[in-house]
Amino acid sequence: MTKIIDRFLNRFTMYRLTLYYLIALLGLGLILSFIGSVPGGPLALVLSAAILVLVCHFANLVLARLWRVRSNPESSLITALILALISSPVSPFSDMKHAAILALSALVAVASKYILAFRRQHAFNPAALGALFSGLVFGSFASWWVGTLPLLPLVALGGLVLARKISRLRFIGVFIAAFIVFMIGLALAHGLSVDMALQSLIFVFGQTSLLFFAFIMLTEPMTSPKRFPLQAIDGVIVALLYQPQLTLWGQNLSPEEALLIGNLFSFLVSPSFKMKLALQESRLIGTGTMSFAFPRPTGFTHRLGQYMEWTLPMGKSGSGGNRRHFSIASSPTEPDLLIAARIPEDASRFKRALAGMSPGDPILAGELGGDFVLPRDPRLPLAFIAGGIGITPFRSMIKYLADTGSRRDIVLLYANRLEGEIVFREVFSDAERSIGLKTVYTLTDLKNARPDWCGHRGPIDRSMIREKVPAWKRRLFFVSGPPAMVGAVKAALRSLGIHRRRIRTDTFTGYF
């Protein structure tokens, strides 16, 4: 079942999936408004959403022109829909004042992306800022009507799907676990019985917007930490501040305030940024695979194995949008930033635009993150297992070790369909000579493999790991590639008795 879900999710970017999720929630809310399960009524809900969408869209266009950057209609639409789901619906025909406040909240939300920005990246959740502005200035605080019981199944189910897509399930899990602990602890500290504390907890999960807050607001990639240890700390901080029983300076914090304090923590410990780069060179490095090199900005560095979000200045981008995540394939010892991508025959508009770039063409790179990084302890024996383009983070690690002369006990298993799809072979051959890397190549398309192929044949499975990886019982395993391949290798490792803490994965989704 998970393979089917992942295959479906691979058709959409994170941003497009978020957009569909919010539209579905608003659509269901509209249906429920006809029977009174959502406040305001259907007309107020439609008009409020229309006001927010129009203001966010046109404000984004104007501000993008003033700041001389390309506008992102997806981003402004997501902000508008979030505000529509947390702000009380109003009709301008019956309440012009609150309709104007709603429009101002949208304007503030979009403006914050440009004004409160650091190196081309906003620091605070725009929807939370817009909602807090209308509350503090006009006393019109967000109602968070999305947290109604009839909407809960869609909020939870859609949120879990989205969290799987963006790989933030652990982050959300820490937040919810910390929230439960803090809520029960504060309830008991205030003299409530255990039964009453549990009843309060059930009410919060069923009748408030906690899950929507966790799935959509807390995990916004641009304003939350990029690595899990910092995400866990951020989740605990926000969970504490979100508590309805917690008072600071005689007042309870609103969900928006709790989130924005978490955003501030994230900005201080894990700042986001975007860099405008120009293509230096693109090359065909294997069958259907291209590499793209960009000059490394002064002072920029990264941990070995991390990824970045890459944005192309496209017009129409199709269902996939104009942003993708690519692992950095180059080492910090190299003068360029290198990424690589499969370009299939039926490539998306994004892939076609990427492949069609000429030297000097611009691209935005940002959102450096990822926990799939080379361990600092050189004594740890490692096993790298890659499928297809999943080799890119290993290229970064191995190139660095070879350039610095750092010898480590590493075995690389690298699977491709055909020999022509093998990339970066010269880097691994050099590392075999200089630092003792052991490399095993295997082809999975047995029918079309050359008869004189002298490498291994077949997928990377339990028997291959036992045969080709010396001392496999004590190694730390890194697995990178398409979802199906990563899942199969992970299952093989678990069947060998490898504990899950010794298996790290990096799933390459979105081959479109």
Give the DSSP letter string of 406-443.
----EEEEEEESSGGG---HHHHHHHHHHH--EEEEEE
DSSP, residue by residue, 209-258: SHHHIIIIIIT-TTTS-SSHHHHHHHHHHHHHHT-TT--BTTBPPPHHHH
Average pLDDT over residues 250-258: 90
Query: Per the structure block, which two tokens stand in for 155?
Result: 């909020």
pLDDT higher than threshold 50 for residue 511 = no
Tell me which residue of 61, 82, 66 sits closest to 131, measured CA to CA.
82
Average pLDDT over residues 423-447: 96
Q: Is residue 479 classed as helix, strand or coil in its secondary structure?
A: strand
Tell me which residue of 452, 466, 474, 302 sits closest to 392, measured CA to CA.
302
pLDDT in tens, 85-141: 999 999 988 899 999 999 999 999 999 999 998 877 888 999 999 999 999 999 999
Exposure class string for 225-241: b at 16+ Cβ within 10 A, else e:
bbbbebbbbbbbbbbbb
CATH class held by domain 382-507: alpha beta
> In this structure, are strands 410-416 and 382-387 parallel, antiparallel, or unpaired?
parallel
Residue given tokens 């006009």 in the structure block? 138
Tell me which residue of 297, 245, 286, 210 sits closest to 443, measured CA to CA.
286
pLDDT in tens, 12-45: 778 889 999 999 999 999 999 999 988 889 999 9
C-alpha 236/C-alpha 182 separation (Å) is: 9
**Same fold across 274-369 and 382-507:** no
Q: How high is the pLDDT of residue 44?
A: 95
480, 386 Cβ separation under 8 angstroms: yes
Q: How high is the pLDDT of residue 378?
A: 94
Residue given tokens 């501040």 in the structure block? 241
Give the start-to-end residue ranges of the domains of the chain: 2-269, 274-369, 382-507
Which CATH architecture does the domain made up of 274-369 adopt?
Answer: Beta Barrel (2.40)
Those residues with Cβ within 8 angstroms of residue 365's Cβ, 6 or more apart along the chain or in another chain: 274, 275, 277, 294, 308, 309, 310, 311, 337
> Which carries the bigger pLDDT value, residue 72 or residue 345?
345
DSSP letter assigned to residue 106: H
| Least confident range of 144-153, 205-214, 255-264 | 205-214
Average pLDDT over residues 402-427: 97
CA distances from 123 to 16, 216, 222, 272, 368 (A): 21, 16, 7, 7, 14
DSSP letter assigned to residue 127: H
C-alpha 369/C-alpha 371 separation (Å) is: 7
Helix H or strand E segment including 65: helix 42-67
Query: Per the structure block, which two tokens stand in for 138?
Result: 């006009």
Planar angle of CA 368, 346, 449, nearest 5 degrees: 90
Those residues with Cβ within 8 angstroms of residue 414's Cβ, 6 or more apart along the chain or in another chain: 386, 391, 422, 428, 439, 440, 441, 442
Q: How high is the pLDDT of residue 319?
A: 55
Average pLDDT over residues 419-427: 97
DSSP letter assigned to residue 125: -
Q: How high is the pLDDT of residue 3?
A: 64
